[in-house]
Amino acid sequence: MSNNFWKKVKEERRVWQVGVIPGTFIIILVMSIRLLGGMQSLEWLAFDTFLRYRPEEPIDDRILIVGINESDIRTLGHYPISDQELSNLLRKINSYKPRVIGLDIVRDLQVKPGNQELTDTFKQIENLIGIEKVLPEKIAPPPNLPKEKVGFADQIIDIDGKLRRSLLGTSVNNEYYFSLTLSLAKKYLAKEGFILENGIKNPDAFRFKKTELPLLVANTGGYVQADAGGAQILLNYRSGRDRFPIVSLNDIKNNRINPNLIRDRIIIIGVTAPSVKDLIATSVTKSSQAPPGRMYGVEVQAHAISQILSAVLNSRPLITAWTDIQEYLWIIIWGILGIVLARLTKSPFKIFLAVGIASGSLLTICYYFILIGYWVPLTPAMLVLLLNGIGLTALYQYERSVSARINARQALIERTFETIHNGPLQTLAKALKRVRDLPQFSLNPQQINDIPPTEELLKELEKDLEKLNCELRGIYEFLQQEPFAQDSTLYLDRDLLLNLEDPIHEVLFQVYNRTLERDFPCFKTLRVNIRSFEPINDNNLSIEQKLGLCRFLEEALCNVGKHATGVTKLEVTCIPEKNFYIMSIIDDGFPSNSLHEGRGTSQCLNIAKLLKGKFQRSHILPHGTMCKLSWKIKRKSWFF
Portion of the chain with pLDDT greater than 70, in percent? 81
* pLDDT score recorded for residue 385: 95
Task: Describe the chain by its helix, strand, coil percentages, rounded to 5.
Answer: 50, 20, 35
Average pLDDT value for residue range 431-456: 59
CA-wise closest residue to 318 among 241, 378, 244, 374 = 374
CA-wise closest residue to 342 among 358, 364, 362, 361 = 358
* Bridge partners, residue 178, by sequence: 169
What are the tens digits of pLDDT across the range 159-171?
A: 999 999 999 999 9
pLDDT classification of 443: cutoffs 50, 70, 90: very low
pLDDT at 115 over 60: yes
Q: What is the mean pLDDT of the chain?
A: 85
pLDDT classification of 640: cutoffs 50, 70, 90: very low
Domain ranges of the chain: 2-36+328-403, 57-319, 423-480, 481-640
C-alpha 242/C-alpha 238 separation (Å) is 9
Measured CA to CA in angstroms, residue 480 lies from 410, 414, 486 at distances of 17, 16, 9
* pLDDT score recorded for residue 202: 93
Hey, which bits of 503-579 come out as E strands?
Answer: 528-533, 564-565, 569-577
pLDDT classification of 638: cutoffs 50, 70, 90: very low
What are the tens digits of pLDDT across the range 318-334?
A: 999 999 999 999 999 99
Q: Is 39 exposed, middle or buried (0-12, 13-18, 19+ CB in 10 A)?
A: buried
pLDDT classification of 1: cutoffs 50, 70, 90: very low
Which residue blocks in 228-323 are alpha helix, DSSP H? 249-253, 297-314
Average pLDDT value for residue range 194-198: 96
pLDDT classification of 285: cutoffs 50, 70, 90: low
What are the tens digits of pLDDT across the range 460-498?
A: 767 777 767 776 776 666 666 655 455 677 777 666 778
C-alpha 139/C-alpha 130 separation (Å) is 12
Q: What is the DSSP letter of 378?
A: -
* pLDDT score recorded for residue 130: 95
H-run or E-run covering 295: strand 294-296
* pLDDT score recorded for residue 8: 64
Task: Give 454 or 58, the one with higher predicted confidence.
Answer: 58
Identify whether the C-beta of residue 552 lies closer than 8 Å to the C-beta of residue 583.
yes
C-alpha 45/C-alpha 306 separation (Å) is 23
Q: Please give the CATH superfamily to which domain 481-640 belongs.
A: Histidine kinase-like ATPase, C-terminal domain (3.30.565.10)
pTM of the full structure? 0.70
What are the tens digits of pLDDT across the range 405-421?
A: 776 666 667 667 666 76
What are the tens digits of pLDDT across the range 13-70?
A: 666 666 788 889 999 999 999 999 999 999 999 999 999 999 999 999 999 999 999 9
What are the tens digits of pLDDT across the range 491-527?
A: 776 667 788 888 888 889 988 988 888 878 888 888 8
Q: Which residues contact 400 (CB under 8 A, 6 or more apart)?
A: 346
What are the tens digits of pLDDT across the range 607-617?
A: 888 888 899 88
* pLDDT score recorded for residue 365: 97
Portion of the chain with pLDDT greater than 90, in percent? 50
Classify the C-alpha dihedral 612-617-620-623 as positive or negative.
positive
Average pLDDT value for residue range 149-158: 94
Average pLDDT value for residue range 72-100: 94
pLDDT at 639 over 70: no
pLDDT at 381 over 90: yes
